Chains A and B, each alone.
Chain A
């Protein structure tokens, strides 16, 4: 029983990170109706951003208390990735606006591969250790359960970011413009919404969240490599679809579910008689099942083609 609760807990921590990445997929889908295939790679860049910022500012950061150092590293990396996200949209996707969605998807695959292999060239192909910005210590006094400081921070940061995001989307003018755009781009433009600015903002916001996710993920599994974004990216995408793509609370919920399912499958694979290597396929099986049986996801709306 204890072991089950422990697995469940681990799954939720992992799911929180998936949720952060899934938000980026879902927001971009909401405003542009396309799958930003390169989003998982922005997540990877976020982790590397954290690594390099930490390296560059090491003397300064070591002098600070660790929560402050974490905040500096995280904000810096989020800013870098937001800028990169905006640049990607500007150079690769913007020229394709009003073209078939499939063309944009192909471009996104191109961008994804470009980031991965350029990353390999710049960062090197091998895994690098990620610094222990968050102290690696266990928090005791929880019965038989083990919770690390990193896991606590994951939950705290994710919750804070989700609240912040909700505020931006529901209470600010830009958030209102985002929602208007996702409902009807033409009408939004006619009402004076500057579509380009909103789309840039959406990419920036999504990329910043992915960067935060990247740093948290790299703190949880302390190593980084140029291809680390692929698997979490796919799982987060599945999470976004599971929650109902375009739906922000849905993405958060989907992330949690995927995190828990993945952890449980990995933890119990031997008892269930599945080779643990199959866990890479689990996300896809979930995805295929959702798309076949409930393509609108748990919280999404059905879209009907007008004839």
Chain B
């Protein structure tokens, strides 16, 4: 089976700084992969490369056989990659409903002209989108909050809404950037179930950047470890936990127990 996403020898340079160097890895359909590493290892940069926010200095990124670099971020979303952000980036002045509706825009058959004439085709499509958005909100228990301004949701719900919004683009691959950040243990537990649930329900691949080792080790099938922009290890959670290089990267020494011992 061919990979969903394939990074081959990808590097990016900012001035004199090589943020990511020679990164090669891939994600298979339906796989949940973790990307971990110490602060500043280049995890978010990898996300930005995959989603077209940055262009790689060298190397190739292929999504379903299509070369990603050179596409604008919004085109890449249309190809089927959706993401969330480390620091939540909801549309702060919009309601919960409209936040999700925005993601539906790219599936529209009608455009500016239809929205002006407001004929039967337009109204039908708007009604259809409304239903789809509500279906999605209901799955995640946000349906009753549809008219709420998104910034008055609680933190955990904002994180969830961001994931729902990403799912509304109907992605084949979902990138989650530190979804557990700022959550308490109960919320983290719920999040783990949520990610599992999404992967199974929507039949998509997930790439997860996360600092919380309990979350990563608990749900990922495979984990890649970055340090200074270079992949130092890749394998199952068990392999990663016992990899001396990874332990050294996190602790700087080769003894003792570290954050990897969940």
Contacts and interface: CB of A to CB of B under 8 A. Distances in A.
- Contact, chains A and B (beta carbon distance below 8 A): yes
A166 to B, nearest CB: 27
Contacts of A307: 44, 48, 53, 85
Contacts of B48: 307
- Chain A contact residues: helix, strand, loop or mixed: loop
Nearest to B14: A304
A307 B85 CA distance: 8
Interface string A289-307: 0000000000000000001
Contacts of B53: 307
Contacts of B44: 307
Interface residues of A, number: 1
Interface string B19-61: 0000000000000000000000000100010000100000000
A300 B48 CA distance: 25
A307 B53 CA distance: 8
Interface in B53-112: 53, 85
Nearest to B48: A307
Interface string A263-307: 000000000000000000000000000000000000000000001
Nearest to B83: A307
A307 B44 CA distance: 8
Nearest to B53: A307
Interface string B171-191: 000000000000000000000
A307 B87 CA distance: 8
Nearest to A304: B14
A97 B198 CA distance: 41
Nearest to A302: B15
A305 to B, nearest CB: 9
Nearest to B87: A306
A307 B177 CA distance: 11
B54 to A, nearest CB: 9
Nearest to B89: A307
A230 B44 CA distance: 45
A86 to B, nearest CB: 34
Interface in A174-191: none
A178 B259 CA distance: 40
Interface of A: 307
Interface of B: 44, 48, 53, 85
4 contacts: A307-B44, A307-B48, A307-B53, A307-B85
